Amino acid sequence: MKITTFFIGLCFFATAFVGAQNISEHTLGLRLGDSDGFGAEISYQKSIGRYNRAEFNLGFRDSREFDAFKLAGVYQWVRPLDGNFHWYYGVGGGVGSADFEPLPNRDREDGPFVFAAGNLGIEYDFDIPLLISIDIRPEIGILGFDEFDNDFLFDFALGLRYQF
């Protein structure tokens, strides 16, 4: 009985993660969005194996209270959903620098920050070399985020990338 349960579990586990998917060797494009205001990032993805990739984003943020630029990197695991749809999750972090707007009764200092990030998203791989995605990247401040009202930012974005 234990052997049968083991093999059924093993077969279920193996088929849950096997599917016809194609992660492009490279993608380059834009990631547009933010948790407060508007942000744009130049986004690059590099495949690392069959189901994994690294994503690097360099961009700026423009909100009511601050302007910032940042560099983020995320290691992602990609899983098939249906046809050309995939979902992915990942972990990473980044660095940046913020320039705060002067506000009454608040003395904020401009400067660098460091953050850790998670990533969760869904993407569609078109038959042409276009990849479109929607994802969230929650960011937790490690250094320098005390100047923001809290140590947590919720980054929601739309990605458009050319595959090559």
Q: How confident is the model at residue 7 (pLDDT cuts 50, 70, 90)?
A: very low
Q: How many CA atoms lie within 13 A of 161 on its CB side?
A: 28
pLDDT band at 149 (very low <50, low <70, confident <90, very high): low
Residue 14: pLDDT band with limits 50, 70, 90: very low
Q: What is the CATH number of the domain that holds 60?
A: 2.40.160.20
- Number of domains composing the chain: 1
Give the model's confidence band at 11: pLDDT under 50 very low, under 70 low, under 90 confident, else very high.
very low
Q: Which residues contact 46 (CB under 8 A, 6 or more apart)?
A: 25, 26, 53, 54, 56
Reported as a single tens digit per residue, the pLDDT across 101-145 is 776 666 666 889 999 999 999 999 999 999 999 999 999 988 886
Give the side-chain half-sphere CA count within 13 A for 28: 1
* Residue 152, pLDDT score: 77
29: pLDDT strictly greater than 90: yes
18: pLDDT strictly greater than 80: no
Q: Using CA of residue 14, residue 16, residue 20, residue 26, what is the dihedral sign?
A: negative
Find, among 95, 91, 58, 87, the residue nearest to 75 by Cα.
91
Q: What is the C-alpha to C-alpha distance for residues 39 and 31, in angstroms, rounded to an integer?
A: 8
Structural domain of 27: 2-163
Q: What is the mean pLDDT of residues 146-163?
A: 80
- The proportion of the chain whose per-residue pLDDT surpasses 90, expressed as a percent, equals 55
- 86: enclosing H helix or E strand: strand 85-100
Sign, CA torsion 145/63/60/160: positive
What number of residues does the chain have? 164
Tens digit of each residue's pLDDT (9 = 90 or more) over 38-97: 789 999 999 999 999 999 999 998 777 778 899 999 999 999 999 999 999 999 999 999
pLDDT for the residue 66? 77
pLDDT greater than 70 at residue 146: no
